[in-house]
Amino acid sequence: MTPRRAAAGNGQASRPWIDGLITSGLPRDHFPAEGADPDTVCDVLTEELLLDGNSKQNLATFCQTWESPQVHRLMDLAIDKNLIDKDEYPQTTEIEQRCIALLADLWHAPGQPTGCSTVGSSEAAMLGGMAAKWRWRARQKAAGKPTDQPNMVCGSVQICWKKFARYWDIEMREVEMKPGRLCLEPEDVLAQVDDNTIFVVPTLGVTYHGLYEDVAGIAAALDGLQQKTGLDVPIHVDAASGGFVAPFTDPDHAAWDFRLPRVKSINASGHKFGLAPLGVGWVLWREPADLPDDLVFHVSYLGGDMPTFQINFSRPAGQVIAQYFDFVRLGRAGYTTIHEESHAVARWCAGEIGGLDGFEIVHDGDPKRGIPTVVWTLDEGAAKPYTLYDLADRLRMRGWQVPAYPFTGELAGNAFQRILVKRDFNREMADLLLRDIRQAVAYLEARPAGQGGAAAQGGYSHL
């Protein structure tokens, strides 16, 4: 690297600590006494960040790894805008409200659009959960019943729900997986719910395998339960991924959104299949009455009254503006085209991977079954000299992040592997990955028995 040497404003030569920054490195354990040339610092950090690898090859993440030049320009315009300051930035506030209204239309909300943006789907899920707990608590108090033992019922969920249950003191009744039973089923729900259930959480695109859970079937089962017992248990749909996929690639899918009266709230991630840059999620309620007033704070801040019910406060506005840009730029037709192409690439990969000896496909990217992802495992009858953890480790040598991980319940001892197919993962990239998978498998097949494999617990859990 050739360091840039910025001259001082009075024409003096660059200071000697610029060269020192190159030869001795950046401060790691002490706050620097002096500043440094900004171009030089930027150059050094740019090269250091190369060690992160190529995000385009990160097939583990659900998050977007590419944004258009227009999105970059809009993000630059909004870098100094605080989204929470609605009085100071009224047009940004207007854009956020437009997004909520468009999502209310997409998810068939029956009345006034009610919701907010968040920093991601995890915050959105927690807001939906808080509202459910508050509603349940008010109902219990009105009936003279105790409020100290709330519970929630769900299938195998992402970590944010475990955090919610712990942070808000909720008993989580998680129905874990069994062979041939990967999703939450209506009969599982009926076996778990009681007077203390604040809500049931089916997932539209389960993180582990990408499949859609049967929201309509669960709602029908709860309808029947209410007719028999009077117990009215609401549903919150975790549509972190599927909420921005199913409306476009399977519009005739059985109702999962606000078309079902029992669905009171939905969360989704804008920076996943919503195609927005990292840092935006959404939560919507069926109608204003489903968001308890006790959760709304009226803050007098920088000149105006601003009702807020997000957990986070100050945050940048660019992601929300970029989300609106995506909605307008792409429309239903654009989202449909992009996600259908992702499904097509996923199904191509599934066909090729499923053709490898001993590989069993769990989800092939079928748009009627789940999001555009491919999940596989090794056939129990296949005596292989390697594990999927070994394969993941071998692929990482080629730059690919293709995680191997266990499922839950009775499948916790089995390894599975997954690729997320997003809009910047095209057929050409897929063919390169498939070539590397075949080469890695051939290498591992030929490796002498007894050579150590990758540790099952190694690496970051992408669940």
Average pLDDT, integer, range 209-217: 98
- For the chain, the average pLDDT equals 91
Q: Are residues 92 and 222 in the same domain?
A: yes
Q: What is the pLDDT of residue 12?
A: 45
Average pLDDT, integer, range 132-138: 98
Residue 236 lies in a domain: yes
Inform me whether the pLDDT recorded for 23 exceeds 90. no
pLDDT tens-place string over residues 158-178 = 899 999 999 999 999 999 999
Inform me whether the pLDDT recorded for 157 exceeds 80. yes
Dihedral sign computed on CA atoms, order 426, 336, 266, 202? negative
Q: What is the pLDDT of residue 449?
A: 59
Residue 457 lies in a domain: no
Q: Are residues 47 and 107 in the same domain?
A: no
Q: Are residues 81 and 169 in the same domain?
A: yes
Inform me whether the pLDDT recorded for 225 exceeds 60. yes
Q: What are the beta bridge partners of residue 441?
A: none
Number of domains in the chain: 3
Residue 320's domain comprises: 69-326
Q: What is the pLDDT of residue 162?
A: 96
Inform me whether the pLDDT recorded for 14 exceeds 70. no
pLDDT tens-place string over residues 103-117 = 999 999 998 999 999
Q: What is the pLDDT of residue 9?
A: 44
Q: What is the pLDDT of residue 437?
A: 98
Q: Is 409 helix (H, G, I), strand (E, B) or coil?
A: helix
Inform me whether the pLDDT recorded for 275 exceeds 80. yes
Average pLDDT, integer, range 442-448: 90
The H helix count followed by the E strand count for the chain is 12, 13
Q: At what angle do helices 318-354 and 69-77 cross, to 10 degrees?
A: 150
Q: Are residues 298 and 253 in the same domain?
A: yes
| pLDDT > 70: percent of the chain | 90
CA Rg, the chain, in Å?
A: 25
Residue 61 lies in a domain: no
Average pLDDT, integer, range 74-81: 94
**DSSP state at residue 200:** E
Q: Are residues 157 and 22 in the same domain?
A: no
Q: Are residues 47 and 132 in the same domain?
A: no
Which stretch of 83-97, 316-330, 391-405 has the lowest confidence by average pLDDT? 83-97
Residue 295 lies in a domain: yes
Separation of alpha carbons 15 and 31, rounded Å: 19
Inform me whether the pLDDT recorded for 87 exceeds 60. yes
**DSSP state at residue 411:** G
Residue 110 lies in a domain: yes
Q: Are residues 318 and 355 in the same domain?
A: no
pTM of the model: 0.91
Q: Are residues 240 and 142 in the same domain?
A: yes
Q: Which residues contact 232 (CB under 8 A, 6 or more apart)?
A: 226
Residue 203 lies in a domain: yes
Cα–Cα distances (Å) from 403 to 55, 59, 254, in that order, read 14, 8, 31
Length, in residues, of the chain: 463
HSE-CB at 235 with a 13 A cutoff on CA atoms is 30
Q: Are residues 131 and 244 in the same domain?
A: yes
**Of 42, 52, 7, 50, the residue nearest 21 (C-alpha):** 42
* CATH, residue 282: 3.40.640.10
* Residue 184 structure tokens: 């939450």
* Residue 284 structure tokens: 């919507």
Q: Which of 261, 296, 326 is the last residue of a domain?
A: 326
Q: What is the pLDDT of residue 382?
A: 84
Q: Which residues contact 461 (CB under 8 A, 6 or more apart)?
A: 403, 405
Inform me whether the pLDDT recorded for 458 exceeds 50. no
| pLDDT > 90: percent of the chain | 79
Residue 352 lies in a domain: yes
Q: What is the pLDDT of residue 195?
A: 97
- Decide: 130 and 117 in contact? Cβ < 8 Å: no
* CATH, residue 401: 3.90.1150.160
Separation of alpha carbons 143 and 264, rounded Å: 21
Residue 132 lies in a domain: yes
* Residue 163 structure tokens: 């955090």
Q: Are residues 129 and 236 in the same domain?
A: yes
Place of tokens 């409200």: 97
Spell 168-194 as b/e; 16+ CB within 10 A means b. eebeebbbebeeeebbbbbebbbebbe
Q: What is the pLDDT of residue 1?
A: 43
User: Within 10 A of 361 (CB to CB), how many other CB atoms are there?
Assistant: 16
